[in-house]
Amino acid sequence: MGMMTAGDLLGLGPDQSVSKRVLFDLIQYSKQEGSAHWSGPGGRIGNTPQQGINWIGLPPDVTGVIIKTRPGSYEHDGWADEAHGLYRYSFKARKGVVDHGELANRVLIDQPLGLYPVLLFTESGTEWRFEGRFDVSEIAGDHVVLRRQSGAYEQTPEAVDMVWREGRRRYVTHLLAERSRALVAWIKSVAEPACEICEENPSDRYGVPVIDAHHRKPVTAWTDEHEVTPDDIALVCPNCHRAVHACMRQGEHSYEAIRDQLRLRLAGSD
């Protein structure tokens, strides 16, 4: 199929394919103002040599990540389940050393916070086959695990304990740890479901349980196994939770500072 801009990539449907030549031209000429593939600075597709990680836009305004992969080309690359809902993908490395701060790796690490889609393509002859839109569901030292955006592959705990262990020498984002369903489910079952920031109970408004869990200390600060207890978690309404993460994206990482800032702002609007 023909493809003119990065927006066409974001609009791809299941099982569509793109010729290698077309995708190569799109990536190369999306940066060239005046070309048929130029759609403005936000449509520029960044690239890295020798490994198929590309990104649309520049942090903090990335709108998508493009992965072109040949299963088996790298140690961890390939489907992780028979249903093709999970895919392992290796970080870019230089002489065997992974730098998590390198942009090609950072756009994957930041995906759970930015919530932009990962567009996965696998090689099929002279074409790239579009496998679908994915989220990053696990981040290890040398690879990520991608999960298809269907909701069918959420982690299900085998048991619920009073203490959960997270961060076992893995580079794990704050948001992924919030998705530890065993911890979050237990907290929500015993705690008052009112938001710690706005102090409203969204369940009263909507008639169904609506509350989010937020780690007080970002999990990215942990370098070894860490025991997480209920005291480590704040319950916040979805609106306040989004505001907290917006502040985090702007560089403020202290939950307490963000909470107090938002409380003052809300009090001033009354």
pLDDT tens-digit readout, 13-60: 888 999 999 999 999 999 999 999 999 989 999 987 656 899 999 877
Residue 60: asked if its preceding bond is cis (omega within 30°), the reply is yes
Question: Torsion-angle region of residue 82: left (phi > 0), alpha (psi -120 to 50) or beta?
Answer: alpha
Structure token pair of residue 52: 């198929």
pTM of the model: 0.62
- Is there a single domain that holds both residue 108 and residue 224? no
Query: Are residues 142 and 99 in contact, defined by beta-carbon separation less than 8 angstroms?
Result: no
Residue 159 lies in a domain: no
pLDDT digits (tens, 9 = 90+) for 187-221: 777 777 789 999 999 888 888 878 888 878 765 55
Q: Does 209 lie in the same domain as 114?
A: no
Same domain membership, residue 127 and residue 61: yes
What letter represents residue 228's amino acid? V
219 and 132 within one domain: no
Region of poorest pLDDT, from 52-56, 126-130, 225-229: 225-229
CB 124 within 8 A of CB 68: no
The answer to whether 132 and 151 have CB atoms below 8 angstroms apart is no
Contact 71/56 with Cβ under 8 angstroms?
A: no
**Structural domain total, the chain:** 2
Name the 3-class secondary structure at 120: strand
Highest-confidence range of 5-9, 152-156, 180-184, by mean pLDDT? 5-9
Domain region containing 74: 6-148
User: Which H or E element spans position 139?
Assistant: strand 127-139
